[in-house]
Chain A
Amino acid sequence: MNAFRKTALGLSTALLLSPMPAAMAQSGDAVTIVLPGGPDRLDPCETPRSVIGRIIKQNVVETLVELDYAKQTTVPRLAESWEQTSPTEWRFNLRKGVKFHDGTPFDAASVVYSLERTLDPKLTCITRTKYFGGVDITAKAVDDNTVVFTTKTPMPILPTLLAQLAIASAKTPKGEYTADPIGTGPYDFVSWTQGENVKIKRFDGYWGEAPKIAEATYVWRTESSVAAAMVETGEADLAFSIAPQDATNPDTDKVYPNSDSAMFRLSADIAPLNDIRVRKAFNLAIDRKAFLGSVISDKAELATQQVGPSVLGHNAKLVPWPYDPEQAKALLAEAKAAGVPVDTEIRMIGRPGMFANSNEFVEAAAEMLRAVGFKIKLDNLEMTQWLEAANKPFAANREANALLTMHDNNSGDAQFTAFFKYHSDGRQSELHDAKVDKLITEAGMASGDERAKLYQETFRYIYEDLVADAPLFHMVNYMRVGKRLDFTPTIANAVELQLAKLVVKSPS
């Protein structure tokens, strides 16, 4: 009992001596930011992953080129200018007088090093696997401030691609991941305590304008209501994504597109979905608008294609499918009369947690389809099983299926969607249509307006002529921004948050 008393006494003394929680509220030019999940590594070559990019991209490490989502274009960052000198060659002029946090100068050699390190097959850097996969590219330092990139095949969107390549100091080890990112950004990495927080602070030797925020602490809470509560109580200044049901305060809770698009991919080769009337009926039977404001946020947009409006190649002229169960029934009857086995069971494949309320969504959608005469079997699969159903090679005797997918394109270009989702060789493509293949190949080689036009035609053809799948929604996230800050989130915040753009309203 004595030991217990001592412990109790010790604990209560510790409690009384420590500052009251009120003192933990944020003040001055330091901010605390709540992420939905913690990082597993802080490597510059992993910045396209939101969990890492939101902390270090353009804060600690910078890119040569930056995406301007609003204008669907690229703007200079560490590169001052660039030009295409031949179809397979680009010349980049680098910013002068830039220093890494470790004191080494930023120069052409460090750009070459960063590219080589990122493309090293020993690492599975997402910048390589997602963006540079299949791109045969080399970089050469012409002088200290000039780099020439050479690709084997023409690469008209190289600047867009380079907006994903974070430049790290040559002291970053090759062939192994780093937990200590050294970049040129306005913030210097301070510490990372596993499971607790990441801290960064203002870098005094920054080449650009010094940011107002002096230091930032990143913490993570899986539970959305706790993340929201942290901002409400002033323990944190900004919570990245809170659930729609926690976004109850219009003064602090702001909506932004997260570049995710949901759709049902239809197995267009397998009866009865191999009949276009059945696929049209499938689209007409789903009351998409009824989901907005119920299980999906009322700020989400109805989709007609797999890329959102901020992506080059998005076709704004396409009109969302109306909800017309009568016409759906008529189309099914017509198909049945023509000998299509419309009574065949269709497997609807969902995945719990794909997005908030995705289980409720597939259940309701299945009911809507049954109401017009479809036979639907609902299967909610865990990630690895879902991937087996989603990816090629497809199982030999698979049944007709409608697979719920959520696709994320925040790269600014339709190439990263079109090939993967619709080309005959695309890993998740159900199509093998010569015209689609040709359009995608041509669009990939083109640049500027021509490129946009070709992708727009691709999406129109797939949507209107082929009715290949059932596009659903362009999704949104809710960010809670504390009263101390003046900030409006945009689609860029799906993968980054530039602290330099945060404004503290009333520094205390």
Chain B
Amino acid sequence: MGNFIYKRSLQSLLSLALLIILVFFLARLTGSPADLYLPLDATEEMRDQFNQRFGFDDPVYVQFGRFVVGLLQFDLGESIQYSKPAVQVVLQAFPTTLMLAAITMPIVIAVAIVTGSLAAFRPGGMFDRIASLISLIGASTPNFWIAIVGVIVFAVWLRVLPTSGTGTPWHWVLPIAVLCLRPTGVLVQVVRSSMITALSSAYVKTARAKGVRSRAIVFVHALRNALLPVITVASDQAAGIVNGAVIVETVFGFPGIGKLMIDSVLLRDFAVIQAAVLVTALAVFIINIVVDITYALVDPRIRHS
């Protein structure tokens, strides 16, 4: 097990390093920040001053060297836009994103497993048809539209929830609900098909023949075997949220990392782009490790191979 985690970590670190190098050089191909931060009629002198201040006057490989040295000291440079350390800007936004993911994913997984399993129990039955239809709608409706409709219905018409912002737990209800919709839709479908396969296997037939209760068959025997693809897809969805729930953040004015990243790309705030990519990549890397361990726990074949 230890060896397994060690190998996986090494692989992930390698891809992390590659990712950072790519982001560093690709970002710099997109043009000079001086054009965006200085007024249109700025003089050449002002542009030189600006480039000097942020080190953009050096050749790119010198900038990269400085970046690597800084990275080893946990210094990711200064945000042009916020005039403070990029790490600080990113770490201020990241907890909100993590919190969104941490609340959303358990709800998604619980709802999807219960609904998907029940639907798989009698494929083609009434519950299965309704569940499939709703999950399909959930998986395919655009987030931003649902978000705005949610605001209009629950905040403006019914006046039971706040429109947006943070402050009280009530503020989290609409964003979380919107955020849950698509992953739940997708995951219900995955649980359902995976369960149908598991329920038609020989050991389930044996269990039935032995007179084991249906509930026990579904939730104890079949579910455990059907869980692997569910974990894979769920981790993918979780990584998606950790990378920033841009639409939810934008519509509801949530100070998360997705919007921060997009704004930084548009404003060529290189240090923040790099820091944000690094932090989210690390988080995804941790999710992957956790998923790998979960695989090993659920499936003895992985554990012992």
Q: Does A40 contact B (CB under 8 A)?
A: yes
Which of A21, A193, A221 has the largest count of B CB atoms less than 10 A from its CB?
Answer: A21
Rounded to whole angstroms, the CA-CA distance of A235 and B171 in the bound complex is: 12
Q: Does A194 contact B (CB under 8 A)?
A: yes
The 8 A CB mask of B219-254 against A (1 = contact, 0 = none) is 000000000000000000000000000000011111
Q: Which residues of A contact B36 (CB under 8 A)?
A: 383-384, 387
Taking A194-B89, A222-B250 as contacts, is the C-beta distance between A41 and B255 under 8 angstroms? no
Partner-binding segment picked from B38-46, B63-71, B199-207: B38-46
Residue of A nearest to B88 (CB): A194
Residue of B nearest to A193 (CB): B255
Q: Does B298 contact A (CB under 8 A)?
A: no
Q: Does A11 contact B (CB under 8 A)?
A: yes
| Contact yes or no, B151 A195, CB < 8 A | no
| Contact yes or no, B37 A383, CB < 8 A | no
Q: Which residues of B contact A420 (CB under 8 A)?
A: 40-41
Which of B30, B43, B148, B155 has the largest count of A CB atoms less than 10 A from its CB?
Answer: B155
The 8 A CB mask of A259-296 against B (1 = contact, 0 = none) is 00000000000000000000000000000000000000
Rounded to whole angstroms, the CA-CA distance of A278 and B128 in the bound complex is: 67
Q: Which residues of B contact A176 (CB under 8 A)?
A: 83
Q: Does A116 contact B (CB under 8 A)?
A: no
| Contact yes or no, A133 B163, CB < 8 A | no
B187 CB to nearest chain A CB (Å) = 15
Residue of B nearest to A419 (CB): B41
Interface size on B, residues (CB 8 A): 56
Q: Which of A20, A122, A124, A220 is within 8 Å of B170, CB to CB?
A: A20
Q: Does A427 contact B (CB under 8 A)?
A: yes
Q: Does A339 contact B (CB under 8 A)?
A: no
Q: Which of B38, B50, B166, B251 is within 8 Å of A223, CB to CB?
A: B251
| Contact yes or no, A129 B163, CB < 8 A | no
Q: Does B165 contact A (CB under 8 A)?
A: yes
| Contact yes or no, B93 A194, CB < 8 A | yes
Residue of A nearest to B252 (CB): A226
Q: Which residues of A contact B266 (CB under 8 A)?
A: 383
Q: Does A169 contact B (CB under 8 A)?
A: no
Rounded to whole angstroms, the CA-CA distance of A124 and B45 in the bound complex is: 12
| Contact yes or no, B151 A391, CB < 8 A | no
Q: Which of B35, B159, B163 is within 8 Å of A226, CB to CB?
A: B163
| Contact yes or no, B53 A21, CB < 8 A | no
Rounded to whole angstroms, the CA-CA distance of A102 and B160 in the bound complex is: 42
Taking A124-B37, A233-B155, A387-B40 as contacts, is the C-beta distance between A226 and B164 under 8 angstroms? yes
Q: Which residues of A contact B103 (CB under 8 A)?
A: 11
Rounded to whole angstroms, the CA-CA distance of A21 and B167 in the bound complex is: 10
Q: Does B3 contact A (CB under 8 A)?
A: no
The 8 A CB mask of A351-371 against B (1 = contact, 0 = none) is 000000000000000000000
Rounded to whole angstroms, the CA-CA distance of A133 and B42 in the bound complex is: 7
The 8 A CB mask of A416-436 against B (1 = contact, 0 = none) is 000110000011100000000
Q: Does B297 contact A (CB under 8 A)?
A: no
Taking A133-B42, A194-B255, A226-B148 as contacts, is the C-beta distance between A219 and B165 under 8 angstroms? yes
Q: Which residues of A contact B40 (CB under 8 A)?
A: 387, 390-391, 420, 427-428
| Contact yes or no, B255 A129, CB < 8 A | no
Residue of B nearest to A387 (CB): B35
Residue of B nearest to A130 (CB): B39
| Contact yes or no, B169 A194, CB < 8 A | no
Q: Does A15 contact B (CB under 8 A)?
A: yes
| Contact yes or no, B38 A129, CB < 8 A | yes
The 8 A CB mask of A55-99 against B (1 = contact, 0 = none) is 000000000000000000000000000000000000000000000
Q: Which of A18, A124, A196 is within 8 Å of B38, CB to CB?
A: A124
A253 CB to nearest chain B CB (Å) = 15
Q: Does A447 contact B (CB under 8 A)?
A: no
Q: Does B81 contact A (CB under 8 A)?
A: yes
Residue of A nearest to B269 (CB): A40
Q: Does A126 contact B (CB under 8 A)?
A: yes
Rounded to whole angstroms, the CA-CA distance of A148 and B96 in the bound complex is: 51
Q: Does B106 contact A (CB under 8 A)?
A: yes
| Contact yes or no, A15 B251, CB < 8 A | no
| Contact yes or no, B253 A220, CB < 8 A | yes
Q: Which residues of A contact B89 (CB under 8 A)?
A: 194
Q: Does A180 contact B (CB under 8 A)?
A: no
Q: Does A24 contact B (CB under 8 A)?
A: yes
Which of A7, A133, A223 has the largest count of B CB atoms less than 10 A from its CB?
Answer: A223
Rounded to whole angstroms, the CA-CA distance of A22 and B162 in the bound complex is: 8
| Contact yes or no, A134 B161, CB < 8 A | no
Taking A195-B92, A428-B40 as contacts, is the C-beta distance between A226 and B151 under 8 angstroms? yes
Rounded to whole angstroms, the CA-CA distance of A423 and B36 in the bound complex is: 23
Rounded to whole angstroms, the CA-CA distance of A223 and B163 in the bound complex is: 11
Q: Does A457 contact B (CB under 8 A)?
A: no
The A126-155 residues at the B interface (CB cut-off 8 A) are 126, 129-130, 133-134
Q: Does A345 contact B (CB under 8 A)?
A: no
| Contact yes or no, A229 B169, CB < 8 A | no
Give me 15 A-to-B residue pairs in the complex whose CB atoms sit less than 8 angstroms apart, sorted by A's number. Answer: A15-B170, A21-B155, A124-B49, A133-B39, A134-B43, A177-B83, A193-B255, A196-B165, A196-B253, A222-B259, A223-B148, A232-B156, A427-B40, A428-B40, A428-B41
16 more contacts with CB within 8 A, not counting A41-B83, A124-B49, A129-B39, are: A19-B168, A133-B42, A176-B83, A179-B84, A194-B255, A196-B165, A219-B165, A221-B164, A223-B250, A225-B152, A226-B148, A229-B163, A233-B162, A383-B266, A420-B40, A428-B41
User: When A and B form their complex, which 4 residue pairs have the shortest distance between CB atoms, in order from nearest?
Assistant: A195-B255, A384-B31, A177-B83, A18-B168
